[in-house]
Amino acid sequence: MAFKADADKIKRWREERHWSQEHLAELAGIGLRTIQRIETGEAASRETLMALAAAFNVDVLALCVDPEVEAGELVRRRNAKGRAALQLSFWIHLASYLFGMIIFAGISLGSGWFVMKWPMIWWTVGIAGHALPVIFMEVVTRYQERY
């Protein structure tokens, strides 16, 4: 059975101790290629993780990825991606809105009376409606980061 080793942690601990991959392999009694595979994120056997834990003088679970933490990180990354897309769409809409308002104002001034009043009002309502989810997502994100 293969376990998901925390490759970043293993590599960081090795580098903090100023050990080469060869030195760690020798201390743990495993092959150099095994260390290289683990540090690139491939799965490791239970025996390999036990040997690495003995070399680092830690518990085996300290070398494994916690599935809950990994799932939480995945959810956080997906939410950040969606939030970034929502913000980008709002900024594009806002730029279009400002350009449109300039055009509408020019049309209204050229015709002698305010003919573009209703399109300007309804587009303003639309941009305000688009701003609400952006603001809401920002508030929720800050609340989640705090608690």
Point out the least confidently predicted range of 34-38, 54-58, 72-76, 100-104.
72-76
- Which DSSP category does 113 fall into? S
| CA separation for the pair 86, 106 (Å, rounded) | 30
The pLDDT assigned to 94 comes to: 97
Q: How far is CA 140 from the centre of its chain?
A: 16
For the whole prediction, is pTM greater than 0.75? no
User: Per-residue confidence at 3, pLDDT binned at 50, 70, 90?
Assistant: low
Residue 57, sorted as left (phi over 0), alpha (psi -120 to 50) or beta, turns out to be left
pLDDT at 1 over 80: no
The pLDDT assigned to 113 comes to: 76
